Amino acid sequence: MAALLLLAGCANTTDGDALATATSSAAASTTASTPTPWDPCTIPDEAIERAGLNVDTKESGIFGRDQYGFKICGWEDQPPNNKYYFSIFVGLEGIDYIDDPATFDRLQPVRVGTRDSTQYQQVGADASLNCGVAFTQGVQLIRATIITDATVRNPPYDPCTELNTVVASLDSELPR
């Protein structure tokens, strides 16, 4: 009979006291202790505009979903350019996440705004069209990328220089 009372959630005992289940308290403690990454979609629109990005193109996640434990937000550059897509990925990882040679290559140290960072390319990416940069803040890995639109053959910018400029302009909005 005691097992049935525990399975029912809260049940009255014969003297009127409620019994709490073990599952409800276990679920509450698990939820409370699970950290979540900072959400880059909380960057104010004014800061996004100052960085040269189009606030009307904001997309949370990739096709609306976070990926592999990363919170993701992205924007296109401002019209009439619309030459690239800028994204920020934030996850609970160390900088060694980008040391995976199956996914990232051409790693090199750079200074972006006030932060020591690592510039990288995704394996197989065209460096004349795309670039990535990563740094840690506390327990979070913050990655930013520029992916040039497929219709742009010769962009009027160097993707890494452009990326570093955008990230540096958003520096005050990123976690400290």
Q: Which residues contact 9 (CB under 8 A, 6 or more apart)?
A: 21, 24
Least Cα distance to 122 among 112, 114, 113, 132 occurs for: 132
pTM of the entire predicted model = 0.78
Taking alpha carbons only, the member of 121, 168, 173 closest to residue 148 is 121
Q: Residue 14's pLDDT is what?
A: 44
Confidence at residue 98, expressed as pLDDT on a 0 to 100 scale: 96
**Residue 62, pLDDT score:** 80
pLDDT tens track, the chain, 176 positions: 333 333 333 344 444 444 444 444 444 444 556 789 999 999 999 999 999 999 999 999 887 777 778 999 999 998 887 799 999 999 999 999 999 999 999 999 999 999 999 999 999 999 999 999 999 999 999 999 999 998 888 898 999 999 999 999 999 999 98
Q: For the chain, how far is it from start to end, CA to CA, in angstroms?
A: 54
Instruction: Give the contacts of 10 (CB within 8 A, at least 6 positions apart).
Output: 18, 19, 20, 21
The reported pLDDT for the residue numbered 13 is 42
Phi, psi angle pair for 111, to nearest 5°: -110, 125
Q: Are 88 and 99 in contact (CB under 8 A)?
A: no
Q: What is the CATH number of domain 40-173?
A: 3.40.1000
Name every residue whose Cβ is closer than 8 Å to that of residue 113 and which is 6 or more positions away in sequence.
167, 168, 169, 171
- Taking the C-alpha atoms of residue 40 and residue 33, their distance in angstroms, rounded to an integer, is 21
Question: For the chain, what is the largest distance between any 2 Cα atoms, rounded to a whole number of angstroms?
Answer: 80
What pLDDT, on the 0 to 100 scale, is given for residue 42? 97
pLDDT at 33: 64
Give me the half-sphere count of Cα atoms (radius 13 Å) on the Cβ side of residue 157: 19
Domain residue spans in the chain? 2-33, 40-173
